[in-house]
Structure 1
Amino acid sequence: MKILVIGSGGREHALVWKIAQSPLVKKIYCAPGNPGIAEIAECVDIDPVHIDGLYNFALKQKIDLTVVGPEDALMAGITDRFREGRLQIFGPTKRASAIEGSKVFAKTLMRKHGIPTADFKVFEDIKQAQKQVTTAEFPLVIKADGLAKGKGVFVCKTPEEAHQHLEDIMKEKIFGHAGDRVVIEEFLSGEEVSILAVTDGNTILPLSSAQDHKAVYDGDKGPNTGGMGAYSPVPLVTQQLQFFIEENILVPAIHAMKRENRPYKGVLYAGLIITSAGPKVLEFNARFGDPETQAILMRMKSDLVPILLLAEKNMLGDAEIEWNDGASVCVVMTSKGYPDAYEKGIPISGLETIKESNHLRVFHAGTAMKGGKISTNGGRVLGVTALGNDLPEAQNMAYGAIGKLSFAGAHYRRDIGAKAMCRK
């Protein structure tokens, strides 16, 4: 088989790494890829939202399956284009991707179909939104409606904070048209978990639980990011809780999308918070999470490729997944200043000292080759991911490897997985 992976981040590096292990696969392309991906796949310089370019490439190279990483490509309609041309592709259609592309759509869907989530109101007018926060209870949460690279959600502790964020989103347009509408919702207390499931639109195949760490600093302090690290599995998610999530959130969401004439095929990512009243949905994403994918795939014993093919062929009921009994940890190293302004082009040292294996990988997220040297090329630069017999061993391996890596201004959280350790 020939497989094309779309994207250039740590998630895509992990997907390429896992796909490359399949005996079914003879050749992997990645568009556009990165220097880490280039070690195991042929990178092609096509932008993920250049849909015609990707389609023509897949057609010419006789690609057997395309796997989409980033949400931008899904929102641009890559799945629709490929399916129209009878090319196999794993990922939801543009209409189905609205479950991530519009917070308003997702929240309205959940309310309509009884999927547990926070109470909310939608605003298109900044004055009405400001009037709402003037009399609301705090803390509360403000979300930009559209895509904002994981940075469009704000927990506000005071009316002053809320007014400022509304100004930034709706007036200053820091997220462009993604901020034309906002969702203002109640703040939910609890611990967050990520549950991803492969689905063919009828059947779901849940992946192992993971916990993302969105805040930039230790102790969940500072602004939200695209994700500073993750671990898997999450001790909080017992078998009983997993079953409840599947029966009351994942399955209803798939059925709801079908009833809304938006059949959903691909990966459905449920960002949940486990409250005293049970699990509730914070957000849905229409693709593999980043950095959850790095941690989850490190634990997956099964071949990923047959699972993706069965989903595409509406035969997911025949699929099974075997997991490693241990635990995995992914720690993200970022550029100085992230998630705000940061420099690019800073040389990275120490990569050659890491002895990679199926138990330790350095997934490239934002890197580029510059003058024969790998340098930083994004906010999130590397995802150092380890698999251990238990969480402490995985932590030690990941942070031990980070100790060998350096670039000017490098930042990373030192508490990835700490909540699970406390729980034990």
Structure 2
Amino acid sequence: MKVLVLGSGGREHALAWKLRQEAGVSEVLCAPGNPGTAACARNVAMDILSPADVTAFVQAEAVDFVVIGPEQPLAAGVSDALRDAGVAVFGPSQAAARLETSKAYSKAFMERHGVPTARARICTTAEDADAAVAAFGAPVVIKADGLAAGKGVTVATTAAEALAAVDAAMRQGAFGSAGSIVVVEECLTGPEVSFFVLCDGARGLFIGSAQDHKRAFDNDEGPNTGGMGALAPSPLVDDALIDRVMRTVVDPVLTGMRVEGTPFAGILYCGLMLTAEGPKVIEFNVRFGDPEAQVVLPLLGVDLAPLLVAAASGRLPSDPLPRPSGTRVGVVLASGGYPGPMTTGHAITGIDAAEHLEGVLVLHAGTRLRQGSRLRQGSRLRQGYGGQVGGQVRGESAKSGEPAQDAVVTSGGRVLTVVGAGGTLRDARDRAYAAVACISFEAMHFRTDIAARYV
């Protein structure tokens, strides 16, 4: 099977890395990809937000299956165009993707179908939002309705902070049209967990859990980010919680989507708060998380491709998946200043040394090759972890395909995710941070406390 993965981040590198190792996959292509995906896939330049361009490429290349990584192509209708053209694709329809792409739609949907979530008010004017802030009091959460690159949510500890968030979104247009509507909701308390379910339109299959670390700095301080690290599986998710979330969240969502004429087939990422009253939904994502995918996918004890195909075709297996063996900890290395203003183009050194440590996997996100540098496409370079841990082995060496030490440079906010594998959380964390110590680039920033509270 020839598979195309759309996207260029750490999530897409994890997907390409996992798929390339599977016997049923003959070739992986990644659009547009990054220097990391070039080691396990053939990178192709393409406008992944253009349904026509993606469809034309897939037909010209005789691609058998398309996996959509990020949310933007889903919002643009790429999955719909591919299905209309008869192409098998993993990713929900544009209408079903509103569970993520519109916070207002998602909140109203949950209220209609009795999914446990925070009390909220959907506001179409700044004055309405100001009044909602006064009604809820602080702390309170302000969410821009549309996609805002992970920066549209403010957990305000004071009324002044909340009103400033409303002003930025609705009066100053900080998020463009994505902030023209905001959701003001009560601030839930309790630990957060990420809960991943493959869905085929009628049935859901739990595939893993994780703990994300959203704040930029240690001790959960600083601004929200797209995620500064993650661990999997979550030590807070047991059999009883899995059963409860499937019954009270996943099943009502799948039933509601089907009843409303927008059946959901894809990955349902449930961001949950474990409150004193039970698990409640903070938000839904409709794709693998980032950096959660980087720690969840390596733990999957079965081939991923057949599961994605089964979800896309409405034929998910009814038996639960085997329990993961071991743990994974992922640490995000970010550009200085992230998630605010930053500079990029800085040379990255030490990736190769990190990857040769036992139990380490380095996944690229915000990287590119320095102009004039080349990396051989589709080699089997870095196909597994260094050494051997949990069945993953170091891939073949491909020295002629390796870039020079300074050929890979930073190109975005979150640059790399360094993943450590271990039989225990402590082992996985130690391996991840030992690898982090090998890597360097100007103004590199990372949290030093990923998974620390659970060790």
In the superposition, the TM-score normalised over structure 1's length comes to 0.97
CA deviation after TM superposition for structure 1 residue 41, in Å? 0.6
- The 5-angstrom pairing of residues 201-216 of structure 1 reads 201-216=201-216
- Mapped to 1, the partners of 2:361 and 2:173 lie a distance apart of 38
The answer to whether the 8 Å contact 1:234/1:420 transfers is no
CA deviation after TM superposition for structure 1 residue 132, in Å? 2.6
1:120 maps to amino acid: A
Q: Which runs of 5+ in 1 are unaligned?
A: none
CA deviation after TM superposition for structure 1 residue 319, in Å? 6.4
Q: Is 1:171 matched with 2:205?
A: no
Q: Match for residue 193 of structure 2?
A: 193
Q: Is 1:316 matched with 2:316?
A: yes
Q: Name the SS of the counterpart of 2:355 in structure 1.
A: coil
Q: Is 1:391 matched with 2:437?
A: no
Q: Name the SS of the counterpart of 1:297 in structure 2.
A: helix
Q: Match for residue 343 of structure 1?
A: 343
How many equivalent residue pairs?
Answer: 421
Compared CA separation, residues 55 and 357, structure 1 to 2 (3 A) = farther
The answer to whether the 8 Å contact 2:350/2:438 transfers is yes
- Mapped to 1, the partners of 2:319 and 2:35 lie a distance apart of 33
Q: Match for residue 330 of structure 1?
A: 330
Q: Match for residue 51 of structure 1?
A: 51
- Mapped to 2, the partners of 1:135 and 1:323 lie a distance apart of 45
Deviates more, 1:222-231 or 1:135-144: 135-144
Q: Name the SS of the counterpart of 1:154 in structure 2.
A: strand
- Mapped to 1, the partners of 2:419 and 2:10 lie a distance apart of 10
Q: Name the SS of the counterpart of 2:183 in structure 1.
A: strand
**Deviation by residue 1:179-208 (Cα, 9 ceiling, x = unmatched):** 010000001000000001111011111111
CA deviation after TM superposition for structure 1 residue 418, in Å? 2.0
Q: Name the SS of the counterpart of 1:354 in structure 2.
A: helix
CA deviation after TM superposition for structure 1 residue 256, in Å? 1.0
- Mapped to 2, the partners of 1:136 and 1:114 lie a distance apart of 21
The answer to whether the 8 Å contact 1:365/1:382 transfers is yes
Q: Is 1:270 matched with 2:270?
A: yes
1:141 maps to amino acid: V
Q: Match for residue 151 of structure 1?
A: 151
**Deviation by residue 1:202-246 (Cα, 9 ceiling, x = unmatched):** 111111110111110111111100011110111111111111011
**Deviation by residue 1:158-183 (Cα, 9 ceiling, x = unmatched):** 12111111110001111110001000
Q: Name the SS of the counterpart of 2:118 in structure 1.
A: coil
- Mapped to 2, the partners of 1:65 and 1:396 lie a distance apart of 37
CA deviation after TM superposition for structure 1 residue 118, in Å? 0.3
Deviates more, 1:393-402 or 1:409-418: 409-418
Return the match for 1:376 from 390, 403, 410: 410
- Mapped to 2, the partners of 1:200 and 1:367 lie a distance apart of 34
Q: Match for residue 419 of structure 1?
A: 453
The answer to whether the 8 Å contact 1:69/1:288 transfers is yes
- The 5-angstrom pairing of residues 84-123 of structure 1 reads 84-123=84-123
- The 5-angstrom pairing of residues 3-22 of structure 1 reads 3-22=3-22
- Mapped to 1, the partners of 2:162 and 2:71 lie a distance apart of 27
1:386 maps to amino acid: G
- Mapped to 2, the partners of 1:354 and 1:386 lie a distance apart of 10
1:382 maps to amino acid: L
Q: Match for residue 389 of structure 2?
A: none
Q: Match for residue 61 of structure 1?
A: 61
Compared CA separation, residues 88 and 189, structure 1 to 2 (3 A) = same
- Aligned alpha-carbon RMSD (Å): 1.2
1:40 maps to amino acid: C
CA deviation after TM superposition for structure 1 residue 323, in Å? 4.1
Percent identity between matched residues is 42
The answer to whether the 8 Å contact 1:299/1:387 transfers is no
- Mapped to 1, the partners of 2:231 and 2:92 lie a distance apart of 26
Q: Match for residue 401 of structure 2?
A: none
CA deviation after TM superposition for structure 1 residue 387, in Å? 1.3
CA deviation after TM superposition for structure 1 residue 419, in Å? 2.8
- Mapped to 1, the partners of 2:449 and 2:148 lie a distance apart of 25
Q: Is 1:291 matched with 2:291?
A: yes
- The 5-angstrom pairing of residues 208-247 of structure 1 reads 208-247=208-247
**Deviation by residue 1:239-283 (Cα, 9 ceiling, x = unmatched):** 111110111111111111111111100101100000011000000
The answer to whether the 8 Å contact 2:121/2:132 transfers is no
- Mapped to 2, the partners of 1:325 and 1:317 lie a distance apart of 21
- Mapped to 1, the partners of 2:102 and 2:150 lie a distance apart of 13
Compared CA separation, residues 355 and 122, structure 1 to 2 (3 A) = closer
Q: Is 1:410 matched with 2:444?
A: yes
- Mapped to 2, the partners of 1:53 and 1:403 lie a distance apart of 41
CA deviation after TM superposition for structure 1 residue 75, in Å? 0.4
- Mapped to 1, the partners of 2:227 and 2:439 lie a distance apart of 19
Deviates more, 1:124-133 or 1:290-299: 124-133
1:405 maps to amino acid: I
Q: Match for residue 160 of structure 2?
A: 160
Q: Name the SS of the counterpart of 2:349 in structure 1.
A: coil
- Mapped to 2, the partners of 1:321 and 1:350 lie a distance apart of 36
In the superposition, the TM-score normalised over structure 2's length comes to 0.91
**Deviation by residue 1:74-95 (Cα, 9 ceiling, x = unmatched):** 0000110000000000000000
Q: Name the SS of the counterpart of 2:209 in structure 1.
A: coil
CA deviation after TM superposition for structure 1 residue 311, in Å? 1.1
**Deviation by residue 1:341-364 (Cα, 9 ceiling, x = unmatched):** 111111001112123589321000
Q: Match for residue 353 of structure 1?
A: 353
- Mapped to 1, the partners of 2:76 and 2:131 lie a distance apart of 35
Q: Match for residue 181 of structure 2?
A: 181
Deviates more, 1:320-329 or 1:274-283: 320-329
Q: Which runs of 5+ in 2 are unaligned?
A: 374-406
1:138 maps to amino acid: A
Q: Name the SS of the counterpart of 2:248 in structure 1.
A: helix
CA deviation after TM superposition for structure 1 residue 17, in Å? 0.3
- Mapped to 2, the partners of 1:303 and 1:357 lie a distance apart of 25
1:228 maps to amino acid: M
Q: Match for residue 134 of structure 2?
A: 134
1:416 maps to amino acid: I
